[in-house]
């Protein structure tokens, strides 16, 4: 097993204070590795970075044929719980003839400040619709209604999750060795970093003239690129970096330092994992890789904010900086 490599450095004054290490892979349209850092075969949980894979059965089954592009973007989202997210999910539930109680993702305080403060001022508690995964779960409910499954759609042996696992293993080209339960209660199947990059490359190289799977992949990746604000939210790396690429790359974070990118123009997929699970490092590493591949401008403010930001204390004094390690540059 190859050790993880240094990916991101944190400097304070003249001294290197911290280093984030990780694994990364870029795959081409054939599923072959064209760039690798650390151990390409490191086994990981992709967490929320694989939501577009979990959404594939929604389209392939025909259950989502009537869904809008915005709803498809939400099905791949880890959103902020802002009104632009929750209003749309609420309308989706209404169209299904369902309510918040049909969700199995659990309530979550919204990360969006305005939405958070609104609940606090009203002395209200968050609902499941505020959960960052409620769009994905609305997709699960849509598929479940089509399949006629039982209410506990989040269980690993439920037809909804079995369909998701099949899509996951087929697109990664691997048999998953097991699963963990994600923050939203759905199973999250393990794969290698290469497997995840291979799946993203399949999304990147999919064509509208291809088979049903390819057509479904195109719709999901294009929805993400068309509505980056629904995939994450204002101030979030996924949203701002997608905008910085001119809407030409689909980018998605996952918990514990996972990040993916789908690059249709290059027919390439990217996956990375920061071993200490730090988000600031996964954002910086992904920005550096996208710059290296020529699809992100290093001088764009959104890139600088993630890849080479100044570090400031509470008084606004510059105390240091963060930058990609030599392996990425």
Would you state the pLDDT for residue 131? 98
Kindly state the DSSP code that residue 246 receives in the 8-state scheme.
T
Query: Considering the entire predicted model, what is its pTM?
Result: 0.97
Give residue-wise pLDDT tens across range 172-189. 999 999 999 999 999 999
Kind plus residue range of the DSSP H or E element containing 270: strand 268-274
Cα maximum dimension of the chain: 62
Domain residues for the domain of 245 are 5-328
Give residue-wise pLDDT tens across range 266-309. 999 999 999 999 999 999 999 999 999 999 999 999 999 999 99
Owner of token pair 């690059």: 263
Angle, in degrees to the nearest 10, between helices 134-147 and 159-172: 110
Helix segments in 148-260, DSSP class H: 159-172, 193-205, 212-226, 228-231, 237-244
Virtual torsion, Cα 216, 219, 225, 230, nearest 10 deg: -90
Does pLDDT of 1 surpass 90? no
Would you state the pLDDT for residue 72? 98
Does pLDDT of 93 surpass 90? yes
Would you state the pLDDT for residue 2? 86
**Which residues lie across from 33 on neighbouring strands?**
27
Owner of token pair 């290490």: 21
Pairing label, strands 15-27, 33-37: antiparallel
CATH code of residue 172: 3.40.710
Does pLDDT of 318 surpass 70? yes
Q: Give CA separation, 57 vs 30, 51, 206, in Å.
A: 22, 11, 16
In the chain, the number of structural domains is 1
Give residue-wise pLDDT tens across range 204-239. 999 999 999 999 999 999 999 999 999 999 999 999
């Amino acid at each position: 097993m190859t050790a993880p490599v240094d990916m991101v450095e944190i400097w304070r004054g003249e001294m290197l204070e911290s280093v984030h290490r990780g694994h990364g892979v870029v795959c081409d349209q054939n599923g072959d590795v064209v760039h690798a850092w650390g151990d390409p075969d490191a086994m990981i949980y992709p967490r929320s970075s694989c939501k577009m894979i979990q959404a594939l059965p929604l389209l392939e089954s025909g259950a989502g044929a009537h869904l809008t592009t915005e709803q498809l973007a939400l099905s791949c989202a880890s959103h902020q719980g802002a009104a632009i997210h929750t209003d749309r999910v609420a309308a989706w539930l209404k169209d299904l003839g369902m309510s918040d109680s049909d969700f199995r993702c659990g309530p979550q305080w919204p990360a969006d400040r305005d939405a958070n403060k609104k609940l606090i001022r009203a002395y209200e508690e968050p609902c499941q619709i505020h959960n960052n995964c409620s769009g994905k779960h609305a997709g699960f409910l849509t598929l479940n209604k089509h399949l006629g499954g039982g209410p506990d759609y989040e269980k690993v042996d439920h037809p909804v999750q079995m369909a998701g696992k099949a899509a996951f293993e087929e697109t990664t080209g691997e048999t998953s060795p097991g699963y963990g339960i994600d923050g939203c209660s759905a199973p999250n199947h393990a794969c290698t970093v290469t497997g995840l990059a291979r799946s993203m490359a399949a999304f990147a190289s999919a064509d509208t003239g291809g088979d049903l799977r390819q057509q479904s992949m195109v719709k999901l990746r294009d929805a993400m690129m068309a509505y980056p604000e629904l995939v994450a939210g204002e101030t979030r790396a996924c949203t701002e970096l997608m905008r910085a690429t001119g809407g030409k790359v689909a980018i998605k974070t996952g918990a514990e330092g996972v990040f993916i990118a789908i690059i249709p123009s290059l027919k390439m997929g990217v996956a990375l994992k920061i071993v200490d699970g730090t988000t600031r490092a996964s954002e910086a590493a992904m920005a550096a890789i996208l710059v290296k591949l020529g699809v992100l401008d290093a001088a764009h403010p959104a890139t600088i904010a993630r890849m080479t930001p100044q570090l400031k204390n509470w008084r606004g004094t510059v105390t240091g900086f963060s930058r990609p390690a030599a392996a990425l540059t």
